[in-house]
Amino acid sequence: MPRGGDPCVPALKASQTDQLTGLPNCRQILGLLDEALAANEDTGSGLCVAVIDIDHFKAINDAHGHEAGDAVLEHFARSCREKVRAQDDLGRTGGEEFLLLIFPRLRGHRVSSFSARPVRV
């Protein structure tokens, strides 16, 4: 084996990551959702799933071009990563759509705090 570990690890990580945002890609975040739903079924620990769509994204792309749209997606992903807790998962499902998996720490934990803070771009 070459020095530095398993050579398959970078390829695996790349296959699970959205190239533009650095977030888990659609396949990866949906896999994490499946795992979370199965775990929730077993433990009843709770799970909140938020589907996030960037408003007026098509208009940004049409008016300013794909480079501007890409910059919006990168900024949005970076802003969300700063706000999402370490135990939660955020991924890009495609286009301007994202999926956020929120795992409550305690029964009755309020999950509305993230959704109440829109990200302005």
pLDDT in tens, 88-116: 999 999 999 999 999 886 555 555 555 55
Are 92 and 77 in contact by the 8 Å Cβ rule? The answer is yes
For residue 24, is it within any domain? yes
**pLDDT given for residue 45 in this prediction:** 81
Residue 6 in domain:
no
Most confident region among 10-14, 72-76, 105-109, 117-121 by mean pLDDT: 72-76
Q: How far is CA 77 from the centre of its chain?
A: 8
Range of the domain at 32: 18-115
- Name the pLDDT band for 117 (thresholds 50, 70, 90): low
Q: Distance between CA 64 and CA 75 in Å, rounded?
A: 16
Question: So which residues are the catalytic ones?
Answer: 96
Residue 9 lies in a domain: no
Q: What is the tens place of the pLDDT at every residue in 5-33?
A: 787 888 888 889 999 999 999 999 999 99
User: What does the pLDDT average to over 63-90?
Assistant: 96
Average of per-residue pLDDT values in the chain: 87
Does residue 111 lie in a domain region? yes
Domain count, the chain: 1
Give the domain CATH number at 102: 3.30.70.270
In a domain, 7, yes or no: no
Residue 42 maps to a domain? yes
Enumerate the β-bridge partners of residue 83. Answer: none
Residue 1 banded pLDDT, cuts 50, 70, 90: very low
**Residue 2 reports pLDDT greater than 70:** no
